[in-house]
Structure 1
Amino acid sequence: MTTLFISDLHLSPSHPNITDCFARFMREEAAHADALYVLGDLFDFWIGDDDRSEFANQIRYEFQRLTSNGVPCYFTRGNRDFLVGKHFARETGVTLLTDETAIDLYGTKAVILHGDTLCTEDLNYLKFRQTVHQPWLQWLFNRIPMTIKTKIVKKIQTDIRSDKQNKSLDIMDVTQSEVEAVMDRHQVSLMIHGHTHRPNIHTFRSCDQTKTRIVLGDWYTQGSVLVFNQEGFTLEKRPFIFS
């Protein structure tokens, strides 16, 4: 049996090929796993649990199908789906996790997170993150009519794209000192995260230990899945199928 990890799918109605790959993965692969972990940015932007569009309901259905068949699913919110809330969890059966969560993987202790909080040099983003995570602001946003929320989200997405064009790649990557601080805090030698869209397996020495940081890939041109079992792990690709 295996435990599966995915992140940064950025699902949206405008990219049905990614959604199709996700649905196929959920039905043909995740359905046979010990557990599935979604480490943020499942959606290109989750506008709120009151989204009842055909697309949103399709994603809900895939999670309902998985969890109702006995496969536990855990969800860490990212910078694009921080508005995923208790209603979504209740309707789909997923378990919402905190920003950082220590888990046991077949005897190996690991810390999992989306990864945005590791990018401590991206000051503009961290300021944005602090603002949008204010409970009162989320409470207010969730009570705005859907048409207005859609306009606000489009403006945010435009601002995000513009901001990225003016940033260096180094600023948008993790800060090694923060990686080590998080791992030390949770007393682990393994970290799994997404966010940076730079799939890789990094090893380094810290506190006289060899430690590993696994970075999940995005789903822009193909699926990306971390497959973890008792024998070890592999970071694998899943092709899109075009009709």
Structure 2
Amino acid sequence: MNQEILFISDLHISLEKPEITRRFLSFLSDRAPKAAAVYILGDLFDAWIGDDDFTPPNNTIRKQLKQLTDSGTQVYLQQGNRDFLLGKRFAKDTGVILLDEYAVIDLHGTPTLLTHGDLLCTDDRPYQAFRAKSHTLEWQQSVLSKPLFLRLLAARWYRVRSYFHKRRKSQDIMDVNQDTVINVMRKRRCLRLIHGHTHRPAIHDFEIDGQPAQRFVLSAWSKHAAEVLCWNSNGYHIEAI
């Protein structure tokens, strides 16, 4: 029985990035069915303005995900900072299982903490303030009550605004805070963490209370390359897609 687990994040799928869409659809049809489970740790989409948005390529992604989950491969999804409005309707349409912002899984005998990664970037205080506001029920209901075309325009404006804001921020501010990482892992009694968000793929070794710990940072997908963190009973490897 296949027990391979795959981890990906930060695809940022949109109409303007057809190469990434094609690569992901190929992954869903060719690579993912060979695994027992796939974990998508946030920012599958570059922007998500509601589960009622069926503009391209969203519907194609829905159908391919549904085909994968119907075939027996479990797909788990965490919301990212770009697609945190993904909801129950999307999960029902696709068969994916939505995860909390922090989720602990048993990864071949080792408790492993999963998160998108934006919550770990506590040095970026303006973003954390916006995140807290945008995750309230009142804020989300207000946004989702707007007509679809207004939400589409707002998402486009937000992407442009985000681009220029990032150019003004230092790279260190947008990276994770190591003290936050340790505190979060200690609270959840995990010595292994997997996340995305920062677009800085790496494996970090450190200690928590004298015990060895590891932090795996997933890579972002681009039109030129994509990587998957693959895990089985023998360990892990990074696979190019």
Q: Tell me whether the two structures share a fold, i.e. TM-score over 0.5.
A: yes
Corresponding residue of 1:92: 94
Hey, what's the Cα distance between the residues in 1 that align with 2:155 and 2:64?
24
Hey, what's the Cα distance between the residues in 1 that align with 2:158 and 2:12?
15
Instruction: Find the partner of 1:216 among 215, 218, 222.
Output: 218
Structure 2 spans left out of the alignment, 5+ residues: none
Conserved 8 A contact 2:191-2:208: no
Write the letter of the residue equivalent to 1:226.
L
User: How many angstroms does 1:77 deviate by?
Assistant: 0.3
Hey, what's the Cα distance between the residues in 2 that align with 1:35 and 1:199?
21
User: How many angstroms does 1:235 deviate by?
Assistant: 2.3
Q: Does 1:228 align with 2:218?
A: no
Hey, what's the Cα distance between the residues in 2 that align with 1:153 and 1:20?
22
Q: Which runs of 4+ in 1 moved over 4 A?
A: none
Corresponding residue of 1:241: none
Q: Does 1:157 align with 2:164?
A: no
Corresponding residue of 1:113: 115
TM-score, length basis structure 1: 0.96
Corresponding residue of 1:132: 134
Q: Secondary structure, in 3 states, of the residue corresponding to 1:36?
A: strand
Write the letter of the residue equivalent to 1:31.
P
Write the letter of the residue equivalent to 1:136.
E
Conserved 8 A contact 1:101-1:112: yes
Corresponding residue of 1:144: 146
User: How many angstroms does 1:50 deviate by?
Assistant: 0.3
Corresponding residue of 2:27: 25
- What is the aligned residue count? 238
Equivalences for residues 151-230 of structure 1 within 5 A:
151-220=153-222, 221-230=224-233
Write the letter of the residue equivalent to 1:184.
R
Conserved 8 A contact 1:226-1:235: yes
Structure 1 spans left out of the alignment, 5+ residues: 239-243
User: How many angstroms does 1:167 deviate by?
Assistant: 0.6
Hey, what's the Cα distance between the residues in 2 that align with 1:150 and 1:92?
22
Q: Secondary structure, in 3 states, of the residue corresponding to 1:169?
A: coil
RMSD: 0.9
TM-score, length basis structure 2: 0.97
Write the letter of the residue equivalent to 2:237.
T
Q: Secondary structure, in 3 states, of the residue corresponding to 1:29?
A: helix
TM-superposition CA deviations, 1:35-93 (whole Å, max 9, x none): 00000000010121000123110110111011011111100000000000000001100
